[in-house]
Amino acid sequence: MLRYALKRLLSLAISLAVASVVIFVAIEVVPGDPASYMLGINARPDTVAALREELGLNMSPPERYIAWVGGLLQGDFGTSYTYRTPVAEMISERLWVSLPLALFALALSTLIAFPAGIIAATRRGSKWDLGIMGVTQLGIAVPNFWFAMLMVLVFAINLRWFSAGGFPGWEAGLLPGLKALLLPAVSLALPQASILARVMRSALLDTLDEDFIRTARAKGLTRRQVLRRHALRNALIPVLTIIGLQFSFLLAGAIIIENVFFLPGLGRLVFQSISARDLIVVESVVMLLVFAVVVVNFAVDLAYAAVDPRLRRRR
Amino acid sequence: MSLLAIDRLSLAIHGAPILRDVSFSVDQGQIVGVIGESGSGKSMTACAVMGLLPAGAQTGGRVLFEGRDLLSTSEAEMCALRGAGIGMVFQEPMTALNPVQTIGAQVAETVLIHRAGTRAQAMARAREVLERVGLPADRFPLSRYPHELSGGQRQRVVIAMAIALRPRLLIADEPTTALDVTTQAQILRLLKRLVAEDGMGLMLITHDLGVVADMADEMVIMKDGEVVERGAGQGFFGRMKHPYTRALFEASSHVPRRAAQAEDRALLEVKGVSRDYAPARTSLLAPARRFRAVDGVSFTIRRGESLGLVGESGCGKSTLARAILGLEEVQEGEILLDGAPVFSGHHVNLAVRRRMQVVFQDPYGSFNPRWKVARLVAEPFHLLGARPPDWREQVAEMLENVGLAAADMEKYIHEFSGGQRQRIAIARALILRPELVILDEAVSALDVSIRAQILDLLADLSGRFGLTYLFISHDLSVVRAITDRVLVMRAGRIVERGRTQEVFENPQHDYTKTLIAAAPKLPQVAAE
């Protein structure tokens, strides 16, 4: 198990190194001169020269790469050109919104999907199954921003239970913070929960068809015991894969929802930096998201191994 | 009072009748063999006893276990009975165990679920039972996972689970069908020993008369959901009356009549062939490993001859077949068909390749379900470049040659039974009029009566089309029935070769002796 974890860790490090090179090349080397790109076509030559100096563009690309990665490793993400603040600060501020939002949405999605998937699978072909499948079909088909707007209309404008958007900051306390994240988290979670419930259902149905389920029944286990002791853990592998993918998506892909609810999250930061051509911020945020995705995959790999002993030996 | 008395049991699933008036009983310490082909209802009878029938099942009659009618027992009481009073062992040892739990936990679960002890006591009991089924602690600690065990070892674990609480009745549904002959013999000995030691009743379900022939105290022959004949096991085959029982017996030891005679010319020459595999790398840094699946194999098949290749799973016989067919390149040696190499350069020699064809074990898995039979059978024509203009006539003729109708061309593969599918596979193999046909476990998945028909067909076709067969099988009785000469393969090497009759009657190599001794045998009975 330890060997397995170390190997996965090694592959994580390699992934990060490769990703950093790709991001660096894509952003700094390919589109010509970043400084003139950032300042636009009407910029004065001395402003461009000053920015080039500040960005270290007078160094060779390998030197710049080493400086950038070295900075990242020490937590120095550079300084935003547009906001004139350290990128690390901006990111950590945004992360305090995006990370809780992603976790909140993921928790909701899992809490909805697991029971729904299990009920549908164990009562295959029943009214429950048909109903759950119908609702999840809808959940996948309807875009989440439409849910979001609908919920703003109902809960913020008509019922006035929540504010329509914005984030008070965690200084205002845990409950106001969570309250501000509830509607966004629900609208993010519903489509994810629909997908996850369907994956859970089909994984569980496949497992319940396996021979070892019959063996367990012959041992005297009730249906419920078979489900709890034998079926669920085996059905978990495809489900874990989807959860991993969903977490990465929720962390970075919430741009639309963040916009609908006017939340200062990572998605909006990327969006704003791209609009403002602030390549320093874009580069660092993208690297951070890659880091998050790779770390989540690592966690999923470890979870696989915890669930399935056959994987501990392989690779 | 019998331990288990099945009394006029009938069963219908969603209205379709499955069992009719099934009656037999199992006493303490008695082994009852329930024999039938697929669809005879033998497994459903077991499910009815266990109360594990599929949804939509309606039952009639009674199933009395120690006087209690199981058909009217509640699900909760059945749960208390399963695993404690009645244990069950299934056919597929490879999939019958939960892959993510240790064998110790799975055996102990039987004890825990019935609240027969604490966790520590359950684990101690698991250890004890695994010991009893021949899995000693030093080589098989409780912490082992199923994927670390072979098929026979897994079946021992399943048996351990079933007998952990010393049930009064054990139901074994085809417990050895998926296993090699030597492993099969060990598992049957184990079951027999457990019955003798614990005095439990054993209901042994099988399609193979040979498995139960020298073991069962009582025989029950089933066909189409009914018991057609019952009787004491001792001397059963001397007294059998029902025509179906006789047909089954005849089919089990069927020897087809063959007219073909081998010429003196060699058709296939295999010279010093070795095939290496590189197992999946476990580390980037460790040196690449090699696994030699076929090791310096040489033999010749003469034109018109039928050569058998026997060996247990993993011995390399299928790899050898793939190499002969040019599906895999060999590392050493050469393979010649009529003097021409199967491989030229790194490419398979198509001119040679079209002169040999193959029939595999799984008739269903080797067909594309979305194609009609006409297209399936005509598929090998692509080896010729283009389909001949009269290809439909050729397909129709070949279907008739294998005992099907020309009209079957327009059907899909799911519309056929297992035996018919294998006939279609044979038609597909013969459509190019090959000289060599490789039969890789071609009859192993078929019921005995169907198997006998296919063997007759193969014998007939070999005479009519001048075919040469390489007959690969783990089933010794089949090889004995249809081959002139036989090769015995073990761990990639040919350990014995000779005329089939001589090898079977007077085996020289120890391994051949073990194989032949382990094979289930039917008693010699005069036909009338």
Domains in chain A, ordered, with CATH?
A: 95-312 (1.10.3720.10)
Nearest to B520 by CA among B175, B159, B172: B175
- In chain A, % of residues over pLDDT 90: 23
At residue B110, the pLDDT reads 92
Element (H, E) at B274: strand B266-277
Tokens for A94, please give them.
Answer: 């945004």
Element (H, E) at B51: none
pLDDT confidence of B284, banded at 50, 70, 90?
low
Which of A37-41, B89-93, B419-423 shows the lowest mean pLDDT across its residues? A37-41
Highest-confidence segment of A272-281, B287-296, B366-375:
B366-375
Q: How far apart are CA A35 and CA A38, in angstroms?
A: 5
Element (H, E) at B156: helix B151-163
pLDDT(B337) > 80: yes
pLDDT(B6) > 90: yes
- B365 or B341, which is more confident: B341
Return the half-sphere exposure (C-beta side, CA atoms, 13 A cut-off) of residue A14: 6
Of the candidates A215, A222, A308, the beta carbon closest to that of B158 is on A215
Q: How far apart are CA B97 and CA B205, in angstroms?
A: 20
Question: Which chain B residues are Cβ-neighbours of A233 within 8 angstroms?
Answer: 100
Helix axis angle for B151-163 and B119-132, nearest 10°, is 130
Average pLDDT, chain B: 88
Question: Which chain A residues are Cβ-neighbours of B79 within 8 angstroms?
Answer: 220-222
Cross-chain Cβ contact B145/A310 below 8 Å: yes
3-state per-residue secondary structure call for chain A: CHHHHHHHHHHHHHHHHHHHHHHHHHHHHCCCCHHHHHHCCCCCHHHHHHHHHHHCCCCCHHHHHHHHHHHHHCCCCCECCCCCCEHHHHHHHHHHHHHHHHHHHHHHHHHHHHHHHHHHHHCCCCHHHHHHHHHHHHHHHCCHHHHHHHHHHHHHHHCCCCCCCCCCCHHHCHHHHHHHHHHHHHHHHHHHHHHHHHHHHHHHHHHHCCHHHHHHHHCCCCHHHHHHHHHHHHHHHHHHHHHHHHHHHHHHCCHHHHHHCCCCCHHHHHHHHHHCCCHHHHHHHHHHHHHHHHHHHHHHHHHHHHHCHHHHHCC
Question: Which chain B residues are Cβ-neighbours of A222 within 8 angstroms?
Answer: 75-76, 79
Question: Which chain A residues are Cβ-neighbours of B158 within 8 angstroms?
Answer: 215
Cross-chain Cβ contact A218/B282 below 8 Å: no
At residue A313, the pLDDT reads 64
- In chain B, % of residues over pLDDT 90: 49
What ipTM was assigned to the predicted interfaces of this complex?
A: 0.80
At residue B330, the pLDDT reads 86
Compute the nearest-CA separation of A295 from chain B (Å). 22
Compute the nearest-CA separation of A183 from chain B (Å). 39
Cross-chain Cβ contact B52/A229 below 8 Å: no
Q: Span A74-99, mean pLDDT?
A: 84
At residue B292, the pLDDT reads 85
Helix (H, G, I), strand (E, B) or coil at B7: strand
Nearest to B74 by CA among B57, B56, B51: B51
Q: Which residues pair with B229 in a beta bridge?
A: B221
* Residues 222-251, chain A, touching B (beta carbon < 8 A): 222, 225, 229-230, 233-234
B442 with B405: CB under 8 angstroms?
no
Compute the nearest-CA separation of B429 from chain A (Å). 34
pLDDT(B216) > 80: yes
At residue B527, the pLDDT reads 45
pLDDT confidence of A315, banded at 50, 70, 90?
very low
Compute the nearest-CA separation of B93 from chain A (Å). 9
pLDDT confidence of A64, banded at 50, 70, 90?
confident
At residue B260, the pLDDT reads 64
Q: How far apart are CA B167 and CA B26, in angstroms?
A: 14
pLDDT tens digits along B12-60: 988 889 999 999 999 999 999 999 988 899 999 999 999 998 888 999 9
At residue B528, the pLDDT reads 41
Question: Which chain B residues are Cβ-neighbours of A4 within 8 angstroms?
Answer: none
- Strand B86-89 relative to strand B68-69: parallel, antiparallel, unpaired? unpaired
pLDDT(A314) > 70: no
- Looking at chain B, which residue has its C-alpha nearest residue A308? B100
φ/ψ of residue B473, rounded to 5? -160, 155
Question: Which chain A residues are Cβ-neighbours of B14 within 8 angstroms?
Answer: none
Helix (H, G, I), strand (E, B) or coil at B263: coil
Of the candidates A218, A222, A308, the beta carbon closest to that of B50 is on A218
Q: How far apart are CA A78 and CA A89, in angstroms?
A: 10
Distance of CA B21 to the CA centre of its chain: 29
Q: Span A278-304, mean pLDDT?
A: 86
Helix (H, G, I), strand (E, B) or coil at B133: coil
- A51 or B400, which is more confident: B400
- Strand B485-490 relative to strand B306-310: parallel, antiparallel, unpaired? parallel
Q: Span A226-237, mean pLDDT?
A: 90
pLDDT(A198) > 80: yes
